[in-house]
């Protein structure tokens, strides 16, 4: 397993084998039996390695059975002193609690030292949401910037009509249009194959978190740019390593999450009048726009692929403009 090999290769610079080996087994369990994504596995690996390194340096490198609740509390104190954010702290506590619960179930430990760890309450921030006029500008030809254009050789004037530059620009429009049209997570977007696109029904077959499949719609603007990309531009970038990937990077293989994220981050910076900074802002935006337009909350939950309705309810916050409009229309003394 890749994650297990990676953990083993880093033992000299990180936790000892007494801690890293059961962690590697745990990550393999999450991958094979729970179907966790690579991003989730990577996050768990980072969080558990952080604890393992602390135990190695500060607690005489105990075996897993010797880890106590006091050791874990010392680790939390260390994180607090390091000014770790509340969100990161909550995530690391969750990772550690899940790991030790698994270790207890598999009889690697006799008692769970993480059972009484309390995670801080997460900061409940409303997501950044773009206005419809900002979405129109974001999806215009002038705003959707290319993360790969600067890698194309030649003068800027020549790049305007360069086939590779045009292909990258078309691909970037597909990224932006699909993220807003279908509310996909960035990892779901880059995982799409051409066969996942149903042009007759204008839907996408999406494999979401926990390997749960769902079907989501997209509109005519997205359909136009996808067809243009597949018919005229994809072949310019794609190599054999791309396989059936819908989106392709400048080196010819499947587009990765980092490249796709940078495309949207650049486009949002070019807007200049929003604090939104990444592709998740488009997911927040389409959810809010659907609810503002009268969509049913459970339909939006299915659309986004949320396991819990409570997660979707975050988007039911009312924008200031909508609140003012409703107030003027409904309040007798407005």
Which residues, other chains included, contact 13 with Cβ-Cβ below 8 Å and sequence gap of 6+?
none
Residue 199 corresponds to which tokens in the numbers above? 């042009």
Give me the phi and psi of 333, to 5 degrees please.
-120, 35
Strand partners, 193: 245
State the catalytic residue, choosing from 137, 164, 173, 185.
185
Q: Residue 59: what are its φ and ψ, rounded to 5°?
A: -130, 30
**CA–CA separation, 318 and 303 (whole Å):** 20
Catalytic residue among 202, 209, 214, 251: 209
Tokens of 324: 């003012």
User: What value, to the nearest 5°, has the Cα angle with vertex 167 and ends 166 and 173?
Assistant: 90
**Catalytic: 315?**
yes
Query: Is 146:263 a contact under the CB 8 Å cutoff?
Result: yes
Is 283 one of the catalytic residues?
yes
Q: Which of 56, 233, 234, 283 is catalytic?
A: 283
Q: Is the dihedral of CA 176, 279, 143, 169 positive or negative?
A: negative
Q: Which of 301, 265, 90, 74 is nearest to 183 (CA)?
A: 301
- By the 10 Å C-beta count (0-12 exposed, 13-18 middle, 19+ buried), 105 is classed as exposed
For residue 209, indicate whether it is catalytic.
yes
**Coarse DSSP helix, strand, coil percentages of the chain, rounded to the nearest 5 percent:** 60, 5, 35
User: Based on C-alpha coordinates, what's the Rg of the chain?
Assistant: 23
Q: Is 289 a catalytic residue?
A: no
List the catalytic residue out of 26, 44, 180, 315: 315
4 is annotated as an active-site residue: no
Active site residue 306: yes
Residue 332: CB atoms within 10 Å = 4
Q: Which residues are catalytic?
A: 185, 209, 280, 283, 306, 315
């Amino acid at each position: 397993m890749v994650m297990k090999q990676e953990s083993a290769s880093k033992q000299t610079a990180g936790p000892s084998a007494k801690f890293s080996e059961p962690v590697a087994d745990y990550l393999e369990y999450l991958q094979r039996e729970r179907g966790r994504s690579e991003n989730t596995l990577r996050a768990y690996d980072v969080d558990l390695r952080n604890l393992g390194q602390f135990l190695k340096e500060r607690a005489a490198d105990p075996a897993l059975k010797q880890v106590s609740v006091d050791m874990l509390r010392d680790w939390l104190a260390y994180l607090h002193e390091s000014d770790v954010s509340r969100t990161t702290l909550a995530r690391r506590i969750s990772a550690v609690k899940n790991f030790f619960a698994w270790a207890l179930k598999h009889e690697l430990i006799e008692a769970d030292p993480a059972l009484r760890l309390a995670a801080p309450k997460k900061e409940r921030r409303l997501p950044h949401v773009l206005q419809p006029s900002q979405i129109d500008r974001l999806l215009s030809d002038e705003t959707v910037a290319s993360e790969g254009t600067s890698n194309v050789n030649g003068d800027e004037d020549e790049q305007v009509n360069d086939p590779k530059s045009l292909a990258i620009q078309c691909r970037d429009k597909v990224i932006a249009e699909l993220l807003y049209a279908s509310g996909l997570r960035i990892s779901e977007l880059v995982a799409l194959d051409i066969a996942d696109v149903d042009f007759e029904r204008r839907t996408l077959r999406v494999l979401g978190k926990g390997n749960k499949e769902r079907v989501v719609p997209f509109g005519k603007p997205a359909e136009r740019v996808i067809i243009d990309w597949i018919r005229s531009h994809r072949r310019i970038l794609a190599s054999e390593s791309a396989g059936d990937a819908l989106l392709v990077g400048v080196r010819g293989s499947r587009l990765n999450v980092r490249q796709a994220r940078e495309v949207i981050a650049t486009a949002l910076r070019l807007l200049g009048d929003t604090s939104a900074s990444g592709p998740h802002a488009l997911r927040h935006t389409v959810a809010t726009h659907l609810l503002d337009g009268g969509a049913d909350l459970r339909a939006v939950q299915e659309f986004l692929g949320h396991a819990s309705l409570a997660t979707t309810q975050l988007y039911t916050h009312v924008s200031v403009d909508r609140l003012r409009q409703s107030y003027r229309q409904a309040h007798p003394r407005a």
